[in-house]
Structure 1
Amino acid sequence: MLLRSDRSFRFDRPRAEMWDAFTEVGRYRRWWPWLADFDGTSFAEGERWSCEVSPPLPYRLTFSVTLTEVVPTEFVRAEVDGDIEGWAELSAVDAPGKVAAEAPAAEAPGCELRLRSALSPHNPVLKVVTLSARPVARFGHDWVLDSGVRQFRRHLSG
């Protein structure tokens, strides 16, 4: 059973600044406490990271992420394998927004991050959970995405 995601997130920071922050892999575990284990050292094409994620469900996911394409400040594509498998990609585009406190035509620097993914369980137990309780699997997936964005925003404002 495939879990697909296609989400966009607006940030009031310039794209290059967002990219620089997002690629600080040494900080991931501080930002994201649900990332129980992570061995990434750099954000570069060909890098392979081992990850363990602990959503608010009675299981943990262990998987690897291989960065297969990286275009700095614009795009990253990754292949995922382990308890879950599939692909994910993140793109960044300039998306200036209006600044209410300034003149009507003034625009603030900003960007939009778009996350697309198609992931499916590979672990036999997760396959059963996903097939028999799809809403539970969707909840866990969405919780990680929503929490991740909220915690990343907190890091940016801190």
Structure 2
Amino acid sequence: MSGRYGIAYHGAFTFPLAPQRLWALIEDPANFERWWGWLHDVHCTDPLITAASVLTGVVDPPVPFSMRVRVTIDECEPARHIAASVGGDLRGTAGLDIDGDGGDASVAIGWDVEMMQPQMRVASLVARPVLQWGHDRVVEAAVRGFRRELTR
């Protein structure tokens, strides 16, 4: 999928809290907009993320495109694993895996999505480095925002 219109990402991060505590934060979509300034209009079909939950929202990266996305949780094993389907202006798959034994939580996150907006597709052909730069800034901001939340 990560061909000429796609973006694939795989990252790993460690956070100084137990996996169950990490999960207690990320399972609540009411937290997302506070952590991540580039994400707004978040709605979820359930108060906490579970299998079959559907989240919608708007992503505003530091490039001139806003993206409406829909994330359907296909698999959810609390404090361990999420697999999701992504729809809307981005289409593909995403996943999150949490590991740890009560001390630090290790998180592996990844996605493989295709850009669906015509202007994004053109930009991916003529300005791929700019789109990749914007993507990378969004990831960095997400991790920074989450780490900031841990110090509250």
Contact 1:84 1:122 in 2 (8 A): yes
When the two structures are aligned, how many residues end up with a matched partner? 146
Question: Is 2:88 the partner of 1:82?
Answer: yes
Bigger drift between 14-23 and 35-44 goes to 35-44
Question: Is 2:88 the partner of 1:69?
Answer: no
What does 1:81-100 align with in structure 2 at a 5 Å threshold? 81-94=87-100
Please name the residue that 2:106 is paired with. Answer: 112
Partner Cα distance (1:36, 1:94) in 2: 30
SS at match of 2:49: coil
What does 1:6-85 align with in structure 2 at a 5 Å threshold? 6-40=10-44, 41-85=47-91
**Deviation of residue 36 (structure 1)?**
2.3
SS at match of 1:39: strand
> Matched residues, percent identical?
28
Q: Give the AA of the match of 1:125.
A: Q
Q: Give the AA of the match of 2:28.
A: E
Q: Which has the larger radius of gyration?
A: 1
Structural RMSD (CA)? 1.3
Q: Give the AA of the match of 1:154.
A: R
Show structure 2 runs of 5+ residues with no match.
Answer: none
Q: Give the AA of the match of 1:141.
A: H
Show structure 1 runs of 5+ residues with no match.
Answer: 97-108
Contact 2:19 2:79 in 1 (8 A): yes
Question: Is 2:9 the partner of 1:5?
Answer: yes
**Deviation of residue 42 (structure 1)?**
2.6
Please name the residue that 2:133 is paired with. Answer: 139
Bigger drift between 134-143 and 110-119 goes to 134-143
TM-score, normalised to structure 1's length?
A: 0.88
TM-score, normalised to structure 2's length?
A: 0.91
Contact 1:130 1:137 in 2 (8 A): yes
